[in-house]
Chains A and B, each alone.
Chain A
């Protein structure tokens, strides 16, 4: 016992000099520290150990380790420091490890809400008894009840449904229950008077690692253990990294992603034109193929709007050149009653020497403010774009977020944005569309269609031949027949055109209907128009004529 106490004292001293950095630690706290770490390695909860240095003569808490020389010489470095840092915890009033799971768990009243429930649920023991029945999986409800009338004997497992003795109410699932059940927490709390009967703690617990393992390290592990230079990864366990595919390989092995928004161009963007086209479709000015205008329809609308505007401007310009500026601008000068024809202007010039510009200035001197505003297009009382004025609030908001000054929706509006026409298949080799269409019967070669048409004409002739006799017999107006025939032709043409994927033709069929007569004298089909692309504009303007 004496040797033990000297050991403690020596340890104390040694530790003290080791811990000289934290000078506030008294010898007692160092001692506590040591014991705490020892006991704490058994139970997850640190236990208060208050053993004064003065009273430890009686202490036989731990088995005596007689490995110290009798003469008291002691190598302080031989005492291994615990592998963690520690601090004085003001909550528990003890030295606590500063990190890791060894930190003590506070009492239940400090637990976060619901933790007591979980702890209690986790501590509920599983029922141990065996059941004799087997489940019927919903086929036979009630099959595992003990039907009393059938006289099934009790299973004999009186503790069959052993439920947990839950601790006393919610409030007091105390920290004491957290300790291991076999050890009375009071026994662990070794205050001075409890230490009378020493308790060998090592009998209560399984002590691991009493025998040193035999060491058979591989070369790498040995090096690693000894700290010699070694590769970062075990060369035996190391696997060669797979060679990454070359970019060529990647190109040819590229797989189209399934249903993925691979480009932000696939996003529908409610730009001004889209909303306008939608509004026009609602008011019946155009027809859309689907619910929303497609990109093509939108761009067609944009192109047409641009062309209309150009064309109007051009017509105005032509008129200006044709009738002369005086006659042209006198529209906005009501007070100018004089003749404004070219001849009159010329005559006036010859009479007075005032050239045309001077005459214009004179005329504009008679212009009122109102006429000027109307001429310049700045009269707010004249509605400029009736469609835009008629658009509903939600449609307007779709464009600007309802506020043209601080737009909140579609804030970035680039009118000159170039459409990304690439589809998700743009990695695929370009298909031969003509062959594809021919193969699938989507397109008819010219010879065949001519053959078909010729055949139809022959049939018509035959029919008319046949009808002649009837016509002679009964007087039927020929006009009726002709009208019908032309209708039939029109339908045929419509059908033929539907095969082409041109959304305008799909969207406004009245275009096709009204297109019949001019088509006959001017058979400029879409395909031809596309082929000589300078005619595309003319082609588009054809529609607008029809409207």
Chain B
């Protein structure tokens, strides 16, 4: 705990006054969305961004944890027409992040905070024919045959890894400079670099076997193309399989799928975009990407109408509507407040959907639930977070027109669901306090192991949160 940059929650985890639930003195968890850049705590327990303008935001991290990145990090891009406006790149114990260097008033139009020209990116078209912008692969180079030998449907990460390695080898390529700021193999949280015991620590067999298959695929690909008879200009790209697996993990965790338009060509591409890949993930992002066609630049823009305080982190949404295991598989981080997380309930107990939503003051359609703060719950109910949103999505519910719920039946159903959650929790070999203790006891643990433990921890926290939410549901149901 000491080494971790702790986010001080301004609210206790559970502050419902009438609660009789037992675990009140709870350590506050860093809900790290520990993403590809592994920047420190992301505000993960924030509410859904409706009426964010009215809310004073808490400053999440103490600035002492972060320090500005190496000056050359921005300079190498600056001389190549990369621009960053009003943001600065900071480096924390967990990696890079982009932070606002001044307050931003809410604006009607989205405003640009970064511009990155196409010339610095590495892109491959997602479909055949393979097209590269900028076209750094010479005609007849064997790396193209390797790229061409991949499966067009599935192997985008292999292709991007080949391209990245080739860019590292190419004289004068920007990625030779930028690569020094990418996370090295021991800093990467991607599970491709995880050892077998790390995968076991996940306590998730499906995810572990998926990652084993991925790693196997990478190594087979390396053995197939980097055999001893390969030409030197191929062989020197990745002398050992570790380097290739590293490149593949970089490709997986930093790939940005974007539709870009170049002249008359509209193309869906897998892209590695410098500087833009230093933005961290949030489920309520305040930035987004925009392809500026006219001079072929990627713009990172702040959402329209978003108020940004100085020092706040700029974030984007990596994967929309994906569960934690998907995030874990590609990026090597997870979150306990992922609003899209799912729990498979097997029983037939159901709670009344509308009551559940109104208890937690959640509005919107199922695809876009949000916490309706400030309007009805003026007491600063900070219980609701992404996990409750996810619970509203994943709990088995019923809704039958205007038929009101019968409180006793609802309580019974909620209790059944709670029991089911308890059973799920009991299936894990450790509980979350033990996980937390493990994490605290090993300050200098491997990144992948840490990510794996956090993954199972987040899963348990999510289940706990659902249990508590059902508690609150039972008590508030009367009203």
| Residue pair A163, B85 in contact (C-beta under 8 Å) | yes
- Which residues of chain B are near A133, meaning CB under 8 Å? 70, 72, 180
B169 contacts the other chain (CB 8 A)? yes
Tell me how far the C-beta of A109 lies from the nearest C-beta in chain B, rounded to whole angstroms.
13
Q: In whole angstroms, how far apart are the Cα atoms of A114 and B107 in the complex?
A: 19
Tell me how far the C-beta of A28 lies from the nearest C-beta in chain B, rounded to whole angstroms.
41
- Which residues of chain B are near A138, meaning CB under 8 Å? 167-169, 173, 175-176, 179
- Which residues of chain B are near A162, meaning CB under 8 Å? 88
- Interface size range on B against A: 35 or more
| Residue pair B75, A169 in contact (C-beta under 8 Å) | no
- Which residues of chain A are near B94, meaning CB under 8 Å? 148
A154 contacts the other chain (CB 8 A)? yes
A147 contacts the other chain (CB 8 A)? yes
A135 contacts the other chain (CB 8 A)? yes
| Residue pair B91, A146 in contact (C-beta under 8 Å) | yes
Q: In whole angstroms, how far apart are the Cα atoms of A412 and B292 in the complex?
A: 49
Identity of the chain A residue whose Cβ is nearest the Cβ of B295 in the assembled complex: A114
Q: Please judge, given known A-B contacts A135-B177, A135-B180, whether A126 and B246 are in contact too, CB under 8 Å.
A: no
Q: In whole angstroms, how far apart are the Cα atoms of A334 and B452 in the complex?
A: 103
| Residue pair A141, B69 in contact (C-beta under 8 Å) | no
- Partner of B85 from the list A120, A140, A141, A143 (CB cut-off 8 Å) is A120
- Partner of A127 from the list B78, B87, B101, B113 (CB cut-off 8 Å) is B78
Q: Please judge, given known A-B contacts A127-B71, A163-B84, A166-B111, whether A141 and B78 are in contact too, CB under 8 Å.
A: no
Surface stretch bound by A, among B182-190, B281-289, B421-429: B182-190
| Residue pair A142, B183 in contact (C-beta under 8 Å) | yes
| Residue pair A126, B176 in contact (C-beta under 8 Å) | no
B73 contacts the other chain (CB 8 A)? yes
| Residue pair A170, B181 in contact (C-beta under 8 Å) | no
- Which residues of chain B are near A117, meaning CB under 8 Å? 112, 115, 292, 295
Tell me how far the C-beta of B46 lies from the nearest C-beta in chain A, rounded to whole angstroms.
24
| Residue pair A158, B91 in contact (C-beta under 8 Å) | no
Q: In whole angstroms, how far apart are the Cα atoms of A430 and B89 in the complex?
A: 73
- Partner of B109 from the list A158, A163, A171 (CB cut-off 8 Å) is A171
- Partner of B105 from the list A143, A149, A157, A168 (CB cut-off 8 Å) is A168
| Residue pair B187, A154 in contact (C-beta under 8 Å) | no
Q: In whole angstroms, how far apart are the Cα atoms of A124 and B113 in the complex?
A: 12
- Which residues of chain A are near B246, meaning CB under 8 Å? 141
Q: Please judge, given known A-B contacts A143-B184, A147-B187, whether A166 and B71 are in contact too, CB under 8 Å.
A: no
- Partner of B180 from the list A113, A143, A160 (CB cut-off 8 Å) is A143
B68 contacts the other chain (CB 8 A)? yes
Binary flags per residue of B112-127, CB closer than 8 Å to A gives 1, else 0: 1101000000000000
Identity of the chain A residue whose Cβ is nearest the Cβ of B81 in the assembled complex: A121
- Partner of A161 from the list B74, B107, B115 (CB cut-off 8 Å) is B74
Identity of the chain B residue whose Cβ is nearest the Cβ of A132 in the assembled complex: B70
| Residue pair B71, A169 in contact (C-beta under 8 Å) | no
Q: In whole angstroms, how far apart are the Cα atoms of A144 and B176 in the complex?
A: 12
Identity of the chain A residue whose Cβ is nearest the Cβ of B172 in the assembled complex: A137
Q: In whole angstroms, how far apart are the Cα atoms of A141 and B86 in the complex?
A: 28
A246 contacts the other chain (CB 8 A)? no
B371 contacts the other chain (CB 8 A)? no
Q: In whole angstroms, how far apart are the Cα atoms of A141 and B76 in the complex?
A: 15
- Which residues of chain A are near B173, meaning CB under 8 Å? 138
Identity of the chain B residue whose Cβ is nearest the Cβ of A114 in the assembled complex: B294
B102 contacts the other chain (CB 8 A)? yes
Q: Please judge, given known A-B contacts A131-B71, A135-B177, A155-B70, whether A169 and B111 are in contact too, CB under 8 Å.
A: yes
Tell me how far the C-beta of B291 lies from the nearest C-beta in chain A, rounded to whole angstroms.
14
Q: In whole angstroms, how far apart are the Cα atoms of A158 and B94 in the complex?
A: 19
A129 contacts the other chain (CB 8 A)? yes
| Residue pair B187, A166 in contact (C-beta under 8 Å) | no
| Residue pair B74, A127 in contact (C-beta under 8 Å) | yes
| Residue pair B180, A161 in contact (C-beta under 8 Å) | no
Tell me how far the C-beta of B274 lies from the nearest C-beta in chain A, rounded to whole angstroms.
13
Q: Say what secondary structure dominates the interface of chain A.
A: loop
Q: In whole angstroms, how far apart are the Cα atoms of A197 and B389 in the complex?
A: 64
- Which residues of chain B are near A255, meaning CB under 8 Å? none
- Which residues of chain A are near B71, meaning CB under 8 Å? 127-131, 155, 157, 160-161
| Residue pair A145, B111 in contact (C-beta under 8 Å) | no
Q: In whole angstroms, how far apart are the Cα atoms of A406 and B85 in the complex?
A: 63
| Residue pair A163, B86 in contact (C-beta under 8 Å) | yes
Q: In whole angstroms, how far apart are the Cα atoms of A127 and B101 in the complex?
A: 14
B152 contacts the other chain (CB 8 A)? no
Q: In whole angstroms, how far apart are the Cα atoms of A129 and B187 in the complex?
A: 26
Q: In whole angstroms, how far apart are the Cα atoms of A161 and B181 in the complex?
A: 14
- Partner of B68 from the list A126, A143, A155 (CB cut-off 8 Å) is A155
B307 contacts the other chain (CB 8 A)? no
Identity of the chain B residue whose Cβ is nearest the Cβ of A167 in the assembled complex: B85
- Which residues of chain B are near A130, meaning CB under 8 Å? 71
| Residue pair A165, B184 in contact (C-beta under 8 Å) | no
- Partner of A142 from the list B107, B113, B187, B294 (CB cut-off 8 Å) is B187
| Residue pair A141, B184 in contact (C-beta under 8 Å) | yes
| Residue pair B70, A144 in contact (C-beta under 8 Å) | yes
- Which residues of chain A are near B177, meaning CB under 8 Å? 135, 137
- Which residues of chain A are near B176, meaning CB under 8 Å? 135, 137-138
Tell me how far the C-beta of A148 lies from the nearest C-beta in chain B, rounded to whole angstroms.
4
Tell me how far the C-beta of B77 lies from the nearest C-beta in chain A, rounded to whole angstroms.
10
Q: In whole angstroms, how far apart are the Cα atoms of A114 and B292 in the complex?
A: 10
Identity of the chain A residue whose Cβ is nearest the Cβ of B110 in the assembled complex: A170
Tell me how far the C-beta of A204 lies from the nearest C-beta in chain B, rounded to whole angstroms.
28
| Residue pair B168, A145 in contact (C-beta under 8 Å) | no
| Residue pair B107, A165 in contact (C-beta under 8 Å) | no
| Residue pair A145, B187 in contact (C-beta under 8 Å) | yes
B27 contacts the other chain (CB 8 A)? no
A247 contacts the other chain (CB 8 A)? no
Which residues of A from 382 to 396 have beta carbons under 8 Å from B?
none
A91 contacts the other chain (CB 8 A)? no
B67 contacts the other chain (CB 8 A)? yes
Identity of the chain A residue whose Cβ is nearest the Cβ of B443 in the assembled complex: A149
- Partner of B184 from the list A120, A142, A161 (CB cut-off 8 Å) is A142
B465 contacts the other chain (CB 8 A)? no
Q: Please judge, given known A-B contacts A144-B73, A166-B111, whether A158 and B180 are in contact too, CB under 8 Å.
A: no
Can you list 29 A-B contacts with CB-CB less than 8 angstroms, sorted by A residue number?
A121-B115, A126-B79, A130-B71, A135-B176, A135-B177, A137-B177, A138-B175, A138-B176, A141-B180, A142-B181, A142-B185, A143-B180, A144-B70, A145-B95, A146-B69, A148-B94, A149-B93, A155-B67, A160-B68, A161-B71, A161-B73, A161-B74, A161-B89, A163-B85, A163-B88, A164-B85, A166-B86, A170-B111, A171-B107
Q: Which 10 A-B pairs have the closest CB atoms?
A: A142-B184, A138-B168, A166-B85, A131-B72, A144-B180, A129-B71, A148-B93, A138-B176, A160-B71, A160-B68
Interface positions of B (Cβ within 8 A of A):
67-76, 78-79, 81, 83-89, 91-96, 101-102, 105, 107, 109, 111-113, 115, 167-169, 173, 175-177, 179-185, 187, 246, 250, 292, 294-295, 444
In addition to A126-B79, A141-B179, A144-B181, 19 A-B residue pairs with Cβ atoms within 8 Å of each other are A113-B294, A127-B71, A131-B75, A136-B179, A138-B168, A138-B175, A138-B176, A139-B168, A141-B246, A142-B184, A146-B67, A154-B67, A158-B68, A160-B71, A163-B84, A163-B85, A164-B86, A171-B107, A171-B109
